[in-house]
Amino acid sequence: MSEGSSSTTSVVEEERLNWRRGSGPESGDVVVYWMQQAQRAEHNPALEFAITTANDHDLPVAVVFCLVDDVPEASLRHYHFMVEGLHRLDGALRRRGMAFEVLRGQPDRILGDLNHRMALLVLDRGYLPMQRRWRDDVEEATDCPVVEVETDVVVPVDVASDKLETAARTLRPRIHDHLERFLVDLATTPVSRSSVPGGDRPVSLARSLSDSSISSFPLDRWRTELDELPISREPGPVAGWTGGTPAARARLRAFCRDVLPDYATRRNRYDVADSCSRLSPYLHFGQISPVAVAVAARSSGAPADEVDAFVEELVVRRELAINYVVHQPDVDSFTSLPRWARRTLDDHRADERPTVYTAAELEAGKTDDRVWNAIMTAIRTDGWVHNQLRMYWGKQILYWTNTPGHAFRTLLDLNNRYFLDGRDANSYANVAWCFGRHDQGFQEREVIGKLRPFTDAALRRKGDLDAWVDSVTGGDDQAG
């Protein structure tokens, strides 16, 4: 049940902290926060913990972001949105008295090279395999105290559950047991020792680097610097999306005012512009905090049932996805799917498919299904589509590929390369959902066996499908 108001704290909950080495600052002249998951200067428990600890030890805080240019499946589409956000963050951190440096290179090389400066290294927690690997490598490359802070969930993952949850129904009561305790607004703590140029303890970490392969990424020239990065240029940036916390905050305000008051009835309307928050890319890059979003929703004055419906998506569904990637190995592999789902797909392996398309035909949206083609076009162009359209899009691929394993790989690849919110815990959990994860068996059918079907008739019940397809194609689409 939602409650109207929430309190504010300046203390980061003990359950968000994991001391990976040591228990407080030791020798070194600065507390360094290596920002990775939580790319924001507000409502960020890792940042606030770094500040309060530094203040207690009369130390300055500096924030470092390691720009890695070989992240699998990431392209200019994602880098543009992220770096635009970092550019806005630069000003916000400086205004709070903290030096912010974006350094190009692998996190373990950069932080290993800065080891001698760090009285304490603060990390934010990341859940995906690559994020976990980065943190393990950084811990190994340093010998200073290291604390990891859980920044991007409402209920800390290990507090909610210590095992792989079967479905939303099993995680929901566990989340609700702790929700009130963790749905608390986090206050900002003033920095005692300013580390910005002109402050009383200016810090330049870039000047202490000895590894010449590491270079600075100047945010004041971010657009031209992006042109130089050796990253995939396709797909490119999407129009209509501005990266960064100010844009996320503006979107949240508009959502709470215009959409939330009837979110429960409107949220499945894929054919109207504003039926949901469209915050997923901002949540993915940590440009807004899920706690701050939930607190804003609760204090918006929207009816309790509507707020509860939103909290169900934002907290229960989103944190179910995080539980999945934390506890399920090989989330990028078909073998990660539940046994019943693999078995039923195996039973139907030999069923005749209506048509088999190549991965390139699917990517280009060249099938005989005009609805699917329009969705794929929107994904390529806009980098985001409504959840209902994603469900139809994901479920169809099984019919058009010769093996379920190939269907799984194709869907995950398209999802992660094209969606602005791709490469997220939600990406892996929802692609897996198309193949039975967090779901139950249904009446057996050709090709998909006991998996839940999702037809265009379901889309037609929820909105004006033809009008939506026309809005994408301009009415002159051709299948095939």
Ligand X SMILES: Cc1cc2nc3c(=O)[nH]c(=O)nc-3n(C[C@H](O)[C@H](O)[C@H](O)COP(=O)(O)OP(=O)(O)OC[C@H]3O[C@@H](n4cnc5c(N)ncnc54)[C@H](O)[C@@H]3O)c2cc1C
Judged by beta carbon, residue 134 or residue 392, the one nearer ligand X is 392
Judged by beta carbon, residue 94 or residue 267, the one nearer ligand X is 267
Distance of CA 221 to the CA centre of its chain: 26
CB of 107 vs ligand X, minimal distance in Å: 23
A 10 A CB-CB count for 399 gives: 19
Q: What angle do CA 436, 441, 444 make, to 5 degrees?
A: 110
Where does this chain bind ligand X (CB under 6 A)? 267, 276-280, 283-284, 313-314, 317-318, 321, 386-387, 390-391, 394, 415, 419, 421-422, 424, 426-427, 430-431, 434
Contacts of 95 (CB under 8 A, 6+ apart): none
Judged by beta carbon, residue 59 or residue 341, the one nearer ligand X is 341
Judged by beta carbon, residue 28 or residue 244, the one nearer ligand X is 244
Judged by beta carbon, residue 99 or residue 276, the one nearer ligand X is 276
Judged by beta carbon, residue 120 or residue 276, the one nearer ligand X is 276
CB of 316 vs ligand X, minimal distance in Å: 9
Residue 172's SS3 state is helix
Judged by beta carbon, residue 101 or residue 421, the one nearer ligand X is 421
A 10 A CB-CB count for 411 gives: 24
CB of 266 vs ligand X, minimal distance in Å: 10
**Among 344, 343, 313, 340, residue whose Cα is nearest residue 429:** 313
**Among 96, 134, 294, 104, residue whose Cα is nearest residue 212:** 104
Report how far residue 149's alpha carbon sits from residue 124's, in angstroms, rounded to the nearest whole number. 5
Q: Which residues pair with 19 in a beta bridge?
A: 147
Judged by beta carbon, residue 20 or residue 176, the one nearer ligand X is 176
CB of 399 vs ligand X, minimal distance in Å: 15
Phi, psi of 32 (to 5 degrees): -105, 130
Q: Work out the burial of residue 8: count CB atoms within 10 Å of its CB; fewer than 13 is exposed, 13-18 middle, 19 or more buried.
A: exposed
CB of 51 vs ligand X, minimal distance in Å: 27
**Among 379, 274, 271, 268, residue whose Cα is nearest residue 313:** 268
CB of 189 vs ligand X, minimal distance in Å: 27
CB of 358 vs ligand X, minimal distance in Å: 20
Contacts of 160 (CB under 8 A, 6+ apart): 171, 174, 175, 178, 319, 323
Judged by beta carbon, residue 118 or residue 472, the one nearer ligand X is 472
**Among 438, 445, 453, residue whose Cα is nearest residue 344:** 445
CB of 408 vs ligand X, minimal distance in Å: 11
Report how far residue 291's alpha carbon sits from residue 286's, in angstroms, rounded to the nearest whole number. 11
| Residue 315 DSSP label | I
Report how far residue 165's alpha carbon sits from residue 247's, in angstroms, rounded to the nearest whole number. 34
Phi, psi of 216 (to 5 degrees): -80, 150
Scanning 121-277, the segments in alpha helix (DSSP H) are 129-141, 157-160, 168-182, 222-228, 245-258, 263-266
CB of 393 vs ligand X, minimal distance in Å: 6
Return left, alpha or beta for 475; rule: phi > 0 is left, psi -120 to 50 is alpha, else beta. Answer: left
CB of 159 vs ligand X, minimal distance in Å: 19
Report how far residue 121's alpha carbon sits from residue 416's, in angstroms, rounded to the nearest whole number. 31
CB of 255 vs ligand X, minimal distance in Å: 7
Task: State the pairing for strand pair 146-149/185-186.
Answer: unpaired
Judged by beta carbon, residue 40 or residue 386, the one nearer ligand X is 386
Judged by beta carbon, residue 25 or residue 244, the one nearer ligand X is 244
